[in-house]
Amino acid sequence: MNADQVSYYAERARDYESIYSRPERLKEITEIKSLLTDEFHGLNVLEVACGTGFWTQAISQTAKSIHATDINQNVIDMARLKEYGPAKVEFEIENIFDMETRDKFYNGGFGSCIWSHIPKQDFQFFLDGLLSRIEPGGKVILMDNIYVEGISTSIASSDEFENTYQIRKLSDGSEWVVMKNFPSELEIRSMLSDVADNLKVRSFRTFWVAVFNKKV
């Protein structure tokens, strides 16, 4: 069984967006796209773990610019093939655990379906890195999946930090153990309480979306 999550997403890149065409998700995806285009209107957005650029494409309709990053070259290569606009969109390889402060700051920050893959014991480190690149008062949106019985892959195991793991199979038959945490709204609020102003957490059918401003 394979357990390297970064390689898992590299291997899954070609099939990844099929999750967004599942009929039970179409309505909420339209609603979330609309939320993202409203919230990021006119902003310069840093997107982490952008994957194949599914949400990047939506945000590019109204944002001023998007600097989209991911650790895997092949997902970035796929994202680059999409059409974006009118925002200026650029891509870069970057590890979310290596986000040293740079001179360039953004007034928008975004990460979809990465929270669930961050070990709970490392979450604060990730958040500090992300927020080090966002201007005070900047808008940040983190979103991820809700565990839905009958839709979500069941939890196979957990560890001493209460991280939970699923066993996933790819189309080539390979099996992977993947960390996938499903924080409750209470946990989301508590993990963001020190850094967030105006925090709103919205629940859709299979996604939650947290919108906040970085504390000034």
Angle between helices 123-131 and 185-192 (to 10 degrees): 50
The piece of 28-36, 48-56, 84-92, 164-172 that touches ligand SAM (CB under 6 A) is 48-56
Residue 71 lies near ligand SAM (rule: CB under 6 A) = yes
In the complex with ligand SAM, the residue whose CB is nearer, 43 or 113, is 113
The piece of 46-54, 158-166, 188-196, 198-206 that touches ligand SAM (CB under 6 A) is 46-54
In the complex with ligand SAM, the residue whose CB is nearer, 170 or 215, is 170
The answer to whether the CB of 13 falls within 8 A of the CB of 52 is yes
At 95, list the tokens: 């590890």
Residue 114 lies near ligand SAM (rule: CB under 6 A) = yes
Residue 95 lies near ligand SAM (rule: CB under 6 A) = yes
For residue 50, give the nearest of 87, 4, 94 by alpha carbon. Answer: 94
Q: Shortest gap between Cβ of 216 and ligand SAM (angstroms)? A: 27
At 32, list the tokens: 């979330």
In the complex with ligand SAM, the residue whose CB is nearer, 36 or 43, is 36
Task: Kindly give the pairing relationship between strand 164-169 and strand 175-179.
Answer: antiparallel
Rounded Cα distance between 126 and 78, Å, is 25
Rounded Cα distance between 88 and 161, Å, is 40
Task: Kindly give the pairing relationship between strand 134-145 and strand 207-214.
Answer: antiparallel
Q: Shortest gap between Cβ of 49 and ligand SAM (angstroms)? A: 3
Binding residue for ligand SAM (CB under 6 A) from 59, 96, 142, 196? 96
Residues that bind ligand SAM (CB under 6 A): 5-6, 9, 49-51, 54-55, 70-72, 75, 95-97, 112-114, 117
